[in-house]
């Protein structure tokens, strides 16, 4: 349920409401707005009836949250969440671009690609140090060395870094080297990992699972937020369907649906969705038109030699061209790049 306090509620009255919720074994999540304070109550609400809270001084209203995901829902927060990472704001008018190689391969190649994507207008460098692969014999990433290369690339270029976590035991490394932690599609319902990441104050991008519904994606995001981390963004990266013409089926309707149901920013990854270089640009343009808050793209200076997913990576020159085209589309839908 949601407890709405009166505009004139004092700090003492707010603390008394929070104490009552905590005493009942429930978790209060406080959101301080411009005009009033709203408290979301998480847990088995049967132990504390709304009548008890309604009778407390300073409380204006107590309302149920009908959706199964509480903190993620528009019922809890009507305004869009904006995640500010060192001045890069995700969830506002600007469409933020994340770009780079699928995996970190060598320091020199990473630095070269980082310079290229920055020059073209990207604000965030993507690159996998730990790679979940279908085959155990495929390249699994450089691990900690790859994270160190990403940190050096950030220092060299000023780009923020997003990289994927696979194991809760790697959180200390992620806190040191990453600006945004990515939880991949295969781990969307790894609830222990979600809760562990949620216990840290570090921005998280949660990718939609291979066959997950929008509801399941939002419930997974709820795990992160329920653990205390509110810096969560979602990512549509295509889902598995009967169609074989593309690697996955990019569900752009999910962008609009998620914006109706949730206040969290939504990113689109057309590279993993389509799996073919010549299809990436059209889907990136469609994602901006659909209202995505960000685009994640794979860029590689020599895709034929890429350790993984070279078939869907853009050359730097094609990425520059696409960025120029995306700016025009963004302007047409009252956004900017």
Q: Token pair of 145, please?
A: 């060395």
Cβ(287)–Cβ(269) below 8 Å: no
Using CA atoms, how far residue 82 sits from 57, 136, 258, 268, in Å, is: 32, 38, 15, 17
Widest CA span in the chain: 68
What per-residue confidence (pLDDT) applies to 47? 84
**Dist. CA 84–CA 79, nearest whole Å:** 15
- List all residues 6 or more positions away from 306 whose beta carbon is below 8 Å from its beta carbon: 101, 102, 103, 105, 300, 313
Show the beta-strand stretches assigned E in 35-159: 37-42, 59-63, 83-85, 88-90, 96-100, 124-126
Q: Token pair of 293, please?
A: 């808050």
For 101, phi then psi, to 5°, come to -75, 155
Sheet of strand 59-63: strand arrangement: 27-32, 37-42, 2-5, 59-63
What per-residue confidence (pLDDT) applies to 294? 98
Name the CATH topology of 2-63: Alpha-Beta Plaits (3.30.70)
CATH 3.20.20.70 holds for 83-332: yes
Identify the segments of the chain with pLDDT beneath 50.
Answer: none
What per-residue confidence (pLDDT) applies to 76? 86
What per-residue confidence (pLDDT) applies to 134? 66
- Report how far apart the first and last C-alpha atoms of the chain are (Å, whole number): 38
What per-residue confidence (pLDDT) applies to 191? 95
Cβ(246)–Cβ(237) below 8 Å: no
Cβ(194)–Cβ(224) below 8 Å: yes
What per-residue confidence (pLDDT) applies to 137? 57
What's the whole-model pTM score? Answer: 0.90
Give Rg (Cα) of the chain: 21
DSSP code at position 27 = E
Domain edges within the chain: 2-63, 83-332
For 188, phi then psi, to 5°, come to -55, -35
Burial class (CB in 10 A: 0-12, 13-18, 19+), 104: buried
**Dist. CA 233–CA 243, nearest whole Å:** 27
Report the run of H or E that residue 160 belongs to, with start and end. Answer: strand 160-165
């Amino acid at each position: 349920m949601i407890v709405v306090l009166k505009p004139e509620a004092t700090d003492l009255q707010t603390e008394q409401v929070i104490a009552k919720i905590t005493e009942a074994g429930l978790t209060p999540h406080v959101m301080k707005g411009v005009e009033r304070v709203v408290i979301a109550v998480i847990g088995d609400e049967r132990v504390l009836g709304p009548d008890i809270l309604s009778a407390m001084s300073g409380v204006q209203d107590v309302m149920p949250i009908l959706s199964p995901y509480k903190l993620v829902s528009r019922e809890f927060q009507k305004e869009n969440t904006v995640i500010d990472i060192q001045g890069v704001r995700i969830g506002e008018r600007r469409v933020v671009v994340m770009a780079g190689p699928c995996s970190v391969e060598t320091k020199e190649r990473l630095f070269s690609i980082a310079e290229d994507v920055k020059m073209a207008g990207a604000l965030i460098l993507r690159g996998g140090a730990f790679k979940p692969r279908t085959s155990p014999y495929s390249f699994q990433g450089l691990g900690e060395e790859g994270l160190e290369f990403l940190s050096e690339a950030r220092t060299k270029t000023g780009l923020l870094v997003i990289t994927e976590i696979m194991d809760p035991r790697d959180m200390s490394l992620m806190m040191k080297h990453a600006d945004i932690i990515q939880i991949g599609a295969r781990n969307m319902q790894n609830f222990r990992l979600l809760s562990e990441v949620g216990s840290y104050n570090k921005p998280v991008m949660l990718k939609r699972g291979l066959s997950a519904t929008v509801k399941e994606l939002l419930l997974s995001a709820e795990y992160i937020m329920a653990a205390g981390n509110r810096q969560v963004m979602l990512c549509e990266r295509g889902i598995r369907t009967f169609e074989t013409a593309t690697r996955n089926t990019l569900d752009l309707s999910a962008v609009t649906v998620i914006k109706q149901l949730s206040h969290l920013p939504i990113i689109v990854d057309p590279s993993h969705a389509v799996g073919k270089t010549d299809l990436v640009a059209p889907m990136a343009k469609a994602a901006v038109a659909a209202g995505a808050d960000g685009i994640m793209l794979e860029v590689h200076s020599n895709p034929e030699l890429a350790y993984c997913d070279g078939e869907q990576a853009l050359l730097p020159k094609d990425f520059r061209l696409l960025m120029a085209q995306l700016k025009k589309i963004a302007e047409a839908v009252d956004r900017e790049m």
